[in-house]
């Protein structure tokens, strides 16, 4: 069964990412300077909802897991139930908090209603879409999505503090700060500016982009049509996920949160996790 995680697609994406990293290596600052606009609603919405694939992914994975787990008192069922509750709470909390953080004067009640509609609607549609499917295949999808979510989160958050790259938005308002290329790992500038000016450590987490990596988690959802043996739709969903991720990535550059090389690496990490995860959890499937 063919999916979007075909080797040809992987090679194509790798080439595009390499070219973007190469361009960013020479023109990161110039590109960001040209599009930088913290008042852009496109950028604000990208910041508020760009990481939704992770938060919603946690919730929907929990919904799927709960729908197929054995409903009896045993250690396995209890642990699965606890995992479902924790992932739902974590996902719902993140979905609620991010719009409140990024959208000016966001109404709490309105935000809550939006989240209820999104969570309730997507959960209902997902359960309908997977109804009657082989439970082993559904579990395979659940494991795959959870793997991608946590693998990319762990890798990106390991790299961020090591790179300690200053964000564009901070450079624009801090004359004492200087641009740092993506390959120049080190915390010397971070330590100095935090001590001198009290700049928050969050302003030194530009590389790689967490929002872009989280948006690329959508790629993992492209395997859902395989439950219906629909490889054509799986490939369509895959490329739709790529387009959505590109939009989120560009919004992060506009907001001055990241440079081109940052969003490219964020996407690359998430795609690599998806590509590896697909071969772990769907290795029996013949990929043509």
Write out pLDDT tens, residues 232-249. Answer: 999 999 999 999 999 999
pLDDT at residue number 285: 53
Interval 22-72: pLDDT, tens: 999 999 999 999 999 999 999 999 999 999 999 999 999 999 999 988 766
Scanning the structure block, which residue is given the tokens 């499917």?
Answer: 133
What is the C-alpha to C-alpha distance for residues 156 and 148, in angstroms, rounded to an integer?
12
**Longest CA–CA separation in the chain, Å:** 62
Total count of domains within the chain: 1
CA 15, 16, 22, 25 torsion: positive or negative? negative
What is the C-alpha to C-alpha distance for residues 127 and 63, in angstroms, rounded to an integer?
8
Domain assignment of residue 2, yes or no: no
What is the C-alpha to C-alpha distance for residues 42 and 13, in angstroms, rounded to an integer?
25
Domain assignment of residue 270, yes or no: yes
Domain assignment of residue 78, yes or no: yes
Q: Residue 89 belongs to what domain range?
A: 7-281
Interval 107-163: pLDDT, tens: 999 999 999 999 999 999 999 999 999 999 999 999 999 999 999 999 999 999 999
Domain assignment of residue 271, yes or no: yes
- The answer for residues whose C-beta is within 8 angstroms of residue 123's C-beta and 6 or more apart is 59, 60, 63
Domain assignment of residue 23, yes or no: yes
What is the number of other CB atoms lying within 10 angstroms of the CB of residue 68? 16
Domain assignment of residue 1, yes or no: no
Domain assignment of residue 115, yes or no: yes
Domain assignment of residue 286, yes or no: no
Find the radius of gyration of the CA atoms of the chain.
20
CA 8, 249, 261, 96 torsion: positive or negative? negative
């Amino acid at each position: 069964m063919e999916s979007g995680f075909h080797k040809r697609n992987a090679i194509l994406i790798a080439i595009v990412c390499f070219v973007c990293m190469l361009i960013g290596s020479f023109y990161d600052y110039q590109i960001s300077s040209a599009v930088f606009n913290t008042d852009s609603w496109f950028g604000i919405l990208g910041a508020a909802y760009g990481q939704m694939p992770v938060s919603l992914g946690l919730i929907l994975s929990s919904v799927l897991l709960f729908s197929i787990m054995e409903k009896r008192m045993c250690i396995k069922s209890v642990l699965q139930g606890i995992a479902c509750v924790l992932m739902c709470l974590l996902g719902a909390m993140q979905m609620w908090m991010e719009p409140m953080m990024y959208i000016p004067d966001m109404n709490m009640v309105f935000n809550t209603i939006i989240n209820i509609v999104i969570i309730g609607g997507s959960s209902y549609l997902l359960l309908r879409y997977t109804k009657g499917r082989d439970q082993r295949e559904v579990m395979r999808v659940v494991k795959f999505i959870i793997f991608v979510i946590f693998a990319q989160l762990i890798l990106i958050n390991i790299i961020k503090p090591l790179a300690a790259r200053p964000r564009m938005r901070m450079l624009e308002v801090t004359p004492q700060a200087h641009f740092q290329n993506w390959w120049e790992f080190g915390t010397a500038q971070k330590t100095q500016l935090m001590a001198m000016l009290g700049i928050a450590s969050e302003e030194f987490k530009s590389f790689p982009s967490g929002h872009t990596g989280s948006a690329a988690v959508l790629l993992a959802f492209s395997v859902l049509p395989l439950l219906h043996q629909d490889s054509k739709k799986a490939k369509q969903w895959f490329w739709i996920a790529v387009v959505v991720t590109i939009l989120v990535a560009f919004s992060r550059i506009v907001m001055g949160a990241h440079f081109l090389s940052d969003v490219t690496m964020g996407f690359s990490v998430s795609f690599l996790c998806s590509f590896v995860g697909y071969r772990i959890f769907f290795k029996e499937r013949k990929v043509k």
